[in-house]
């Protein structure tokens, strides 16, 4: 009985709908959940501004997912892209052997001192040679499949590890090779990085790989600060009452996100708007086409979030700064544009008045 209680015990998480302010960060996270192919979020801001709290809150808010029981990769029972090779072969031989269960969306924290083996997983060469089987020990990328991978202080992480994370997030797969043995497994997750700009920025090449960049600042208004402090204190004293009070709002947002995910494939964006998005990117001298692609994706996700099947200029105006501001920095010593430059060019191209 005690064991069951321990198994069912979870640490209370501050409700997402109760978070005051930080709209930019909340919007970026919601859009990435609606369409993980946007490419993740980089959240830069002062210490103690609720970055970790908000990221844990969005993971807790999301609906449960169906996975194959006892599968280390959270394999989807029907979608081949989200399924490990072992599950695929079982389905081909005898689909009746597949048992499933519903779990909370995985939220994986990547510690700063993590090694490449811990992140990607390891192959037991000795076992492979003596027993003739691929003995693979899954890493954090396997755990994060179909969930959220959170890297706090991502700007302090080794560049080659950031590269591995971004490659997996972009391709949806992780490949581990040791001594001629190769293992490949699905690793489709929303990559969320956070950091404090005082401790240094990511190199422009790595920063460009993040889909969106949200900036957060410490709240200056004393009344709002007091409200935040009071709410946090009240939650710490009686978390379960708080969670119950916000349950209807949480469920409403949960339903809205699920509906947006279902609507997303049907959302269209007019050719004229796509031309103008690319003109903004061109005039801002954004390298490559990643900025164009992400802006199109985010605009469609924003339209789906507002239950529309056609992108409007309003949708683009809400997300274009988040998608482009971190792509303007060519010199690692430059600071990231606050968004004014993007906004100015956006208004000129779309012929909007200030």
User: Residue 306 maps to which CATH number?
Assistant: 1.10.8.80
Taking the C-alpha atoms of residue 229 and residue 247, their distance in angstroms, rounded to an integer, is 21
**Tokens read off for 61:** 């808010």
Contact 174, 168 (CB under 8 A): yes
Q: Are residues 275 and 213 in the same domain?
A: no
Q: Pinpoint the alpha helices (H) of the chain.
A: 2-8, 23-34, 51-61, 85-93, 116-120, 125-131, 140-144, 159-171, 204-207, 222-237, 239-245, 247-263, 271-283, 290-305, 313-324, 340-349
Q: Does residue 328 belong to any structural domain of this protein?
A: yes
Identify whether residues 208 and 120 lie together within a single domain. Answer: yes
Angle between the N-to-C axes of helices 313-324 and 290-305, in degrees from 0 to 180, rounded to the nearest 10: 130
- Rounded to the nearest integer, the mean pLDDT of the chain is 83
Lowest mean pLDDT among 38-52, 63-77, 121-135, 179-193: 121-135
**Tokens 């990559």, residue located:** 191
C-alpha closest to that of 22 among 58, 62, 60, 54: 54
CATH of the domain at 151: 3.40.50.300
Dump pLDDT digits (tens) for 251-291.
999 999 999 999 999 999 999 999 999 999 999 988 888 88
* Residue 259 within any structural domain of the chain: no
On whether both 42 and 163 belong to a single domain, the answer is: yes
Q: With respect to residue 43, please indicate whether it lies within any of the assigned structural domains.
A: yes
Asked, for residue 183, whether it belongs to a domain, the answer is: yes
Q: Both 147 and 290 in a single domain?
A: no
- Verify that 50 and 174 share a domain, yes or no: yes
Distance CA 65, CA 167 (A): 24
Total number of domains in the chain = 2
Q: Name residue 45's beta-bridge partners.
A: 216
pLDDT score of 253: 92
Instruction: Categorize the per-residue pLDDT at 336 as very low, low, confident or very high, splitting at 50, 70 and 90.
Output: low
Residues 6+ apart with CB under 8 A from 16: 26, 54, 57, 58, 60, 61, 250, 253
> pLDDT tens digits for 236-262?
888 888 888 888 999 999 999 999 999
Which letter, b or e, does each residue of 251-289 get, where b requires 16 or more Cβ atoms within 10 Å of its Cβ?
A: eebeebbeebbebbeebebeeebbebbbbbbeebebeee
Q: Report how far apart, in Å, the C-alpha atoms of 81 and of each of 76, 87, 152, 163, 221 are.
A: 8, 12, 28, 22, 47
Confidence of residue 307 (pLDDT cuts 50, 70, 90): very high
Residue 335's pLDDT is 59
Mean pLDDT of 76-100: 80
Position 24 in a domain? no
* pTM for this prediction: 0.86
State both tokens at 301. 């996700």
- Give the number of other CB atoms < 10 A from CB of residue 123: 20
Residues 213 and 109 in one domain: yes
**CA pair distance 212, 326, nearest whole angstrom:** 8
- Mean pLDDT for 326-344 is 71
pLDDT of 152 higher than 90: no
| Distances, alpha carbon 334 to alpha carbons 42, 197, 328, 329, 331, in Å | 17, 12, 10, 6, 5
Evaluate whether 241 touches 70 at the Cβ level (below 8 Å).
Answer: no
CB-CB contact of 315 with 232 (8 Å): no
Report residue 2's pLDDT band, with 50, 70 and 90 as the boundaries.
Answer: very low
State the residue range of the domain holding 302.
Answer: 265-349
**pLDDT for the residue numbered 124:** 74
User: Exposed, middle or buried: residue 48 (CB in 10 Å: 0-12, 13-18, 19+)?
Assistant: exposed
**102 pLDDT above the threshold of 80:** yes
Q: What is the mean pLDDT of residues 292-310?
A: 94
Residue of 82, 85, 21 whose CA lies nearest to 49: 21
In the prediction, which pLDDT does 6 show?
44
Q: What band does 317 get if pLDDT is binned at 50, 70 and 90? A: very high
**209 given a catalytic annotation:** no
Q: Which of 290, 297, 300, 327 is catalytic?
A: 290
| Tokens read off for 296 | 């199109």
| Residues 182, 319 within the same domain | no
């Amino acid at each position: 009985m005690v064991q069951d209680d321990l198994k069912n015990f979870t640490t209370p998480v501050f409700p997402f709908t109760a978070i005051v302010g930080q709209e930019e960060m909340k919007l970026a996270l919601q859009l990435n959940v609606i369409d993980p192919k946007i490419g993740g979020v980089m959240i830069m801001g002062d210490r103690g501004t609720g970055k970790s709290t908000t990221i844990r809150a969005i993971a807790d808010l999301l609906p449960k997912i169906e996975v194959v029981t006892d599968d280390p990769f959270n394999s989807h029972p029907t979608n081949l892209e989200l399924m490990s090779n072992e599950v695929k072969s079982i389905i081909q031989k005898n689909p009746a052997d597949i048992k499933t269960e519903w779990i909370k969306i995985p939220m994986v924290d990547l510690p700063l001192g993590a090694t490449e083996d811990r992140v990607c997983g390891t192959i037991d060469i000795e076992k492979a040679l003596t027993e003739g089987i691929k003995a693979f020990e899954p890493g954090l990328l396997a755990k994060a499949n179909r969930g959220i991978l959170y890297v706090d202080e991502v700007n302090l992480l080794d560049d080659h590890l950031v590269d591995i994370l971004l490659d997996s997030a972009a391709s949806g797969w992780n490949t581990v090779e040791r001594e001629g043995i190769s293992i490949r497994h699905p690793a489709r997750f929303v990559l969320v990085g956070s950091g404090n700009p005082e401790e240094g920025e990511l190199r422009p090449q790595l920063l460009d790989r993040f889909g969106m960049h949200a900036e957060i600042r410490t709240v200056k208004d004393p009344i709002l600060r007091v409200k935040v402090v009071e709410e946090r204190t009240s939650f710490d004293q009686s978390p379960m009452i708080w969670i119950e009070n916000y349950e209807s709002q949480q469920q409403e947002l949960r339903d809205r996100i699920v509906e947006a995910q279902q609507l997303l494939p049907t959302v269209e964006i007019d050719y004229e708007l796509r031309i103008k998005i690319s003109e903004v990117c061109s005039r801002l001298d954004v390298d490559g086409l990643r900025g164009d692609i992400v802006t199109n994706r985010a605009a469609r996700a924003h339209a789906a979030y507002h239950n529309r099947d056609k992108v409007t200029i309003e949708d683009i105006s809400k997300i274009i700064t988040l998608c482009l501001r971190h792509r303007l920095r060519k010199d690692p010593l430059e600071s990231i544009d606050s968004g004014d430059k993007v906004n100015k060019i956006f208004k000129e191209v779309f012929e909007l008045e200030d």
